[in-house]
A and B are shown apart, each in its own frame.
Chain A
Amino acid sequence: MDTDSGATVESWRLDKPVALAVIFGAAGILLPLFTIREHRLDGGTGLSVLSASVPYSVLLAVCILVPAVIILVRTNAKIRAGLLAGTGSVLIVLPWLLAGILGSRELLELELDLGRVAPAGGFWFLTLSGMILVSEFSRRVQGWTGTLLVAAILLCVFAMFRLGLLEDIAFIREYRVREQRFLSEVIAHLRIAAMAVGSAVLVGVPAGIVSYRYRVVRKPVFSVVSGLQTIPSLALFGLMIAPLAFLSQRYPFLRQLGIRGVGNAPAIIALFLYSLLPILRNTYTSLSVIDPAVIEAGKGMGMTQKQLLFMLEIPVALPIILSGIRVASVQTIGNTTVAALIGAGGLGNFVFQGLGQASPDLIVMGVIPIVVLAIVIDRVFAFFIGRVIPGARNVE
């Protein structure tokens, strides 16, 4: 890896990843950028940038040419990185703007009041091309610069959305119809996930410590917990229903707490069981990889067992434990989606409603916030793991 980061002494050779980005970008220009749909369930007709607008296609062509130039011309590393970042961000942001503005204009011309603009192949190819360039940029710079660029790009798209430039894009339409419910589903989603992961931390971390301390319990605890994670999520949700329905029928106070066979209760319990493994495993691993010399040193200083655990072992183990919680959180955000099938709240409701109505736009509208939540949570954990604990190694 070190050999190709010293870009200043690079000789004449093809920069293959950037070449790939150019090919994808070219495909993005040629393929339909978006489709115009007459109504919600219309298949739609495709429209490429080339046919829609000359100035914009020139602009996009420039964005494809710049990386092509980067491949061929030897410039200094800083300029190259800057060009990569610039063209990469434009290639990601511009398709949104084009779909928003050109799409709306097209709808007006065709007098389609109920029409909508759906991103198509060209849109995604341009995005992919931009992502490759941004990823190549992030590799060439250090630390958080790459993440900052990604954040800036996301902010840019968000700003366009706030300014109302994207209103005719199909899944934004779907969002506008459900604006109120959207927010409450996001909150429900986060609440279910947080309760599941929170209780998994409360159980998983002590369980990890106990399995580290007492070898006898390690094997049974690990086989049960990893067995749980092997079970398909929908099956685990399903298996929760019967016992919970039985319990809530038997004990009225549980019913008063809102615990029923379907709904949030079985979802949270199943998601809790699912989150245990990464947390338990990382707690156990983090404690067992501590250098025995460190523990000896602690003992030599006259620390008691309790002091050893709280003042030495846990602080040293914290980064790895945190990455276990990170894995559990990202995974739980995804699995909470499935929980909608057993009547729990959350963004999965939009996704499965969309599947039920065969409405691609509604599905996309549900999936985007789920993916964004997962990525944001992942990055936030990465930040804290790298930041709060100095010298921490970021264990994926």
Chain B
Amino acid sequence: MKARSSHIVPIVIGLCLVFGSFIFSVGFREMVLRALFPATRELIYLRTGLPHMLGEHLSLVLLSSVLASIAGFSLGVFVTRPYGREFLPLVRGLSSFAQTFPPVAILALAFPVLGFGFRPTVAALFAFGILPVLNNTIEGIESVDASLIEAAQGQGMTPGQVLLQTELPLAAQVIVAGIRTSVIINIGTATIGATIGAGGLGTVIIAGLVRNNTAFVFTGAITAAGIALATDWLFSRLELVFFNPQDGVRSGHDSTRHSS
């Protein structure tokens, strides 16, 4: 394992350098785009800088994902406690129903309810982002072996201690996988947020589509794709460091679909 990670480090650093220069250095970006799109005259989108759009994008995702994770996690814990257990089937049913909704539909519906701009987009991302965290929190806690909980109770632990010291540590990996799914979905849906005036990397993609400028589309698309892949990779490192999962096809992460 160690040999492989040291092998991968220079590649990652190299990719980060190229990607970073593409985002932050207009000159480098122009050079790359010139090589790819020799026929296009206007290569750089001037209305908003790429770093600024990236910042908007990341704040959309960060804000909505943090809120969604807190809400999904709390609700998941609530319905697995004795006093909330009665809601478990209802929450499960409604959330699996809601998950058939395309994220873009939620985003589009945010406009009639909340209007244009940054905040409606955060609200839509938040609403959809809850589901993977909620599902995985329930799934993670429910899959904890009942005998372990009994053993903890037998040792005289209070319900709070059982939750914090037995259930959550054992469920953590699945919960984090849910957060990962939620964040990746939000990065994708935030791109479409540009259509309801949220800013972000979708802005330059949409501008490129409207003006028939492939260089603009490419700029936004490659940046958004890079951010998504980098975030996913960071999560996989995080999972590896904290949970050291057995090598294999990503398991818990796959319980929910990505789509946006």
| A residues lining the B interface (CB < 8 Å) | 1, 4, 15-17, 20, 131-132, 135-136, 138-139, 218, 222, 226-227, 229-239, 241-242, 245, 261-262, 274, 277-278, 281, 284-285, 327, 330-331, 333-335, 337-338, 341-343, 348, 351-352, 354-355, 358, 360-361, 363-364, 366-367, 370-371, 374-375, 378, 396
Determine whether the beta carbon of B214 is less than 8 Å from that of A245: yes
- Across the interface, do A367 and B108 meet the contact criterion of CB distance under 8 Å? yes
A131 to B93 alpha-carbon distance, docked (Å): 10
Which B residues contact A (CB, under 8 angstroms)?
36-37, 86-90, 93-94, 96-97, 100-105, 108-109, 111-112, 116, 184, 187-192, 195-196, 201-202, 205-206, 208-209, 214, 217-218, 220-222, 224-225, 228-229, 232, 249-250, 254-255, 257-260
| Contact A375/B109 with A230-B258, A338-B192 known, Cβ cut-off 8 Å | no
On chain A, the residues within 8 Å of B101 by CB distance are 334, 371, 374
With A239-B218, A352-B195 as given contacts, are A335 and B102 in contact (CB-CB < 8 Å)?
yes
Q: What are the 5 closest A-B residue pairs judged by CB atoms, nearest first?
A: A334-B102, A360-B112, A238-B221, A232-B188, A235-B221
Per the bound structure, the CA–CA distance linking A230 and B181 in Å amounts to 9
Q: How far is the CA of A231 from the CA of B89 in the complex (A)?
A: 33
**Distance from A254 Cβ to chain B, minimum over Cβ atoms (Å):** 17
Query: Judging by beta carbons under 8 Å apart, are A17 and B90 in contact?
Result: yes
In the complex where A17-B87, A338-B104, A341-B195 touch, is A229 in contact with B112 (Cβ < 8 A)? no
By DSSP majority rule, is chain B's interface helix, strand, loop, or mixed?
Answer: helix
- Chain A residues near B102 (CB, 8 Å)? 331, 333-335, 337, 370-371, 374
Compute the total of residue contacts between A and B using a CB distance below 8 Å.
172
Q: How far is the CB of B146 from chain A (nearest CB, A)?
A: 13
16 A-B interface contacts by CB (under 8 A): A16-B86, A17-B90, A132-B90, A135-B90, A136-B89, A231-B225, A232-B191, A232-B228, A235-B220, A237-B221, A238-B205, A242-B218, A330-B100, A352-B195, A367-B109, A371-B100
A145 to chain B, nearest CB (A): 14
Does B111 contact A374, Cβ atoms closer than 8 Å?
no
Q: Which residue of chain B has its CB nearest to the CB of A330?
A: B100
| A374 to B, closest residue via Cβ | B100
Give the complex CA separation of A228 and B111 in angstroms. 29
A135 contacts across to B, CB distance below 8 A: 89-90, 93-94
B100 x A337 contact (CB < 8 A): no
CA distance A307 to B256 in the complex (A): 33
CA of A274 to CA of B220 in the docked complex: distance in angstroms? Answer: 19
When the two chains form their complex, are residues B108 and A232 in contact, meaning their CB atoms are under 8 A apart? no
Neighbour of B259 across the interface among A15, A335, A354, A363, CB < 8 A: A335
Contact partners of B105 in chain A: CB under 8 A: 334, 337, 351, 367, 370-371
Q: What residue in chain A is nearest B113 (Cβ atoms)?
A: A360
Contact of A334 among B116, B206, B221, B259 (CB under 8 A): B259
Q: How far is the CB of A170 from chain B (nearest CB, A)?
A: 10
Q: What are the residues of chain A within 8 A of B229 when measuring CB–CB?
A: 227, 230-231
